Amino acid sequence: MTYDFKDLRQQHDLPTVVGRYLELRGSGGGWLMGRCPFHEDGTPSLGVSRTSGSWRCFGCGRKGTVLDFISYLRFDKPLDACARDEIDQVVAELGSSLAVPVPAPRPAATTTRPTMLEGPAQLALHLAARLYHTTLLASGNDAKSPLVYLRSRGFSDRTIRQQGLGYATGGMLASVLRSEGVGIEAGQEAQLLDAEMGRKEFFAGRIVFMDLDRSGRVLHMIGRRFAPWLGDDSVKYLGLRGASKPLYGYAQLDRRPSSKPVIVVESPPDRLTAVQAGIDAVAVCGTALSNEHAEQLSRLRRPLRFVPHNDESGTGCEAVLRWRDVVGKGEIVRLPEGIKDLNAFVNEAGFQNWLRRIKSVC
């Protein structure tokens, strides 16, 4: 039998079909939101457009039409126009008035977020992450580009892609949000755009570190000063406005009891340096460890290794001593003399031996 796919899409209302399998809630901007059935989804990240006839998960990246949605449920892939048997099954299910039971959902993702965002604001956060990541990758090989800078800091292209690092030029996000039907207001609610100045992006001129959970959902962003026009007087690291700073990387940790250590460092680049070397790590994002983050670390049934910055003032060591005292456990492991921080150590002789020491300290 030959099918007219366009006709099938028009006959079967997307929100009605998707609503058979998961609860959808209106979120403004023409979107309905629900928990994605294709990955561990702690908070609703699957968006269904009321107007375009398309859906997209901002956590796992799957997207498509009403036909693709059913195909993903049954075959874990988009509709294959050449797979006749699969098409017959998709069409048969669309024609049924009753939903076929969906497999039991996976356990909820490990998530810790400083602020709860719902609906359009969460979509805006994911769209911004995608825009910033794409912008970074397209920044080229010019010596002054943010991509070349990150490579010079020792980060591989694989790490840059896996961790979703990005760069905000400062002039594109509002247009992207409008074109995706989310709207500028959602960007303002997510604190990505300044409500008083309309299109002004808070992360403009900054390299952006994405705090992700284990399913890849964006929980928070941290912007590192990069563009010369920001000036040395601007804050070096900037989090989402109005949200408490994250314990960067905590939501990606495997929190089951283990003898594998977790490194606790001060800055996002230090944390990524450890992760790239194969060691789990979290970054405090400054020298002040909040009570909430201290409690999270104290409950973690894995060895902790506190690694201070080697600054002349001794601020890094003082901070780490406070962290260990508040957490109530862990070992302090110093960097070699003359090495400012973990990221500066990555290209130096002795780095691998130091990593082996980190794993063996008890």
Q: Domain boundary residue among 214, 239, 264?
A: 239
Full residue range of the structural domain in which residue 228 is found: 120-239
> Could you give the CA distance from residue 298 to residue 255 in angstroms, rounded to a whole number?
12
The mean pLDDT value of the chain amounts to: 84
Specify whether 70 is located in the same domain as 135.
no
Tell me the β-bridge partners of 220.
211
pLDDT recorded at residue 10: 83
Token pair for residue 173? 């996000």
Q: Are residues 254 and 232 in the same domain?
A: no
The residue among 190, 219, 239 that closes a domain is: 239
pLDDT tens for residues 43-101? 788 889 878 889 998 888 899 999 999 999 888 888 887 787 888 888 888 874 333 33
| Domain presence at residue 197 | yes
> Could you tell me what percentage of the chain is helix, strand and coil, using 3-state DSSP and rounding each to the nearest 5?
35, 15, 50
DSSP string over 270-338:
HHHHHHHTT-EEEE-SSSPPPHHHHHHHHH--S-EEE-----TT-HHHHHHHHHHHHHT--EE-PPPTT
Confirm whether 223 is domain-assigned: yes
On whether both 129 and 87 belong to a single domain, the answer is no
Question: Looking at this protein, which amino acid is placed at residue 149?
Answer: Y
Q: Please, what sign has the CA dihedral across residues 333, 336, 337, 341? A: negative
> 192 and 86: one domain?
no
In angstroms, the CA 150 to CA 279 distance is 19
CATH number, domain with residue 52: 3.90.580.10
Q: Is residue 332 in some structural domain?
A: yes
87 plus 163 within the same structural domain: no
Are residues 310 and 214 part of one domain?
A: no
Q: Which residues lie closer than 8 Å to 273 by C-beta, 6 or more apart?
A: 154, 155, 342, 343, 345, 346
Radius of gyration of the chain (CA): 23
264 and 350 share one domain = yes
Q: Give domain status of residue 225, yes or no.
A: yes
CATH number, domain containing residue 329 = 3.40.1360.10
Q: Are residues 301 and 214 in the same domain?
A: no
Q: Please indicate, yes or no, whether residues 126 and 16 belong to a single structural domain of this protein.
A: no
User: What's the domain count of the chain?
Assistant: 3
Say yes or no: 333 and 353 in one domain: yes
Distance between CA atoms of 106 and 99, rounded to whole angstroms? 19
Give the CA angle between residues 259, 260, 264 to the nearest 5°: 120
User: What is the H or E stretch that residue 85 is in?
Assistant: helix 84-95
**187-224 pLDDT, tens digit each:** 888 889 986 655 689 999 999 999 988 777 788 999 99
Domain assignment of residue 105, yes or no:
no
Residue 114 in any domain: the answer is no
Residue 178 sits in the same domain as residue 218: yes
What is the band of 118 on the pLDDT scale with cuts at 50, 70, 90?
low
pLDDT of residue 183: 84
Residue written as tokens 């007087």? 233
**Does 71 fall in a domain?**
yes
Residues paired with 55 in a beta bridge: 48, 64
Residue finishing a domain among 185, 215, 239: 239
CATH number of the structural domain spanning residue 183:
3.90.980.10
Full-model pTM: 0.69
Phi, psi of 47 (to 5 degrees): -105, 135
CA distance 337 to 9: 65
Residues 151 and 46 in one domain: no
Task: Please name which of 316, 327, 325, 250 lies closest in space to residue 294, comparing C-alpha atoms.
Answer: 327
- Decide if 102 is inside a domain: no
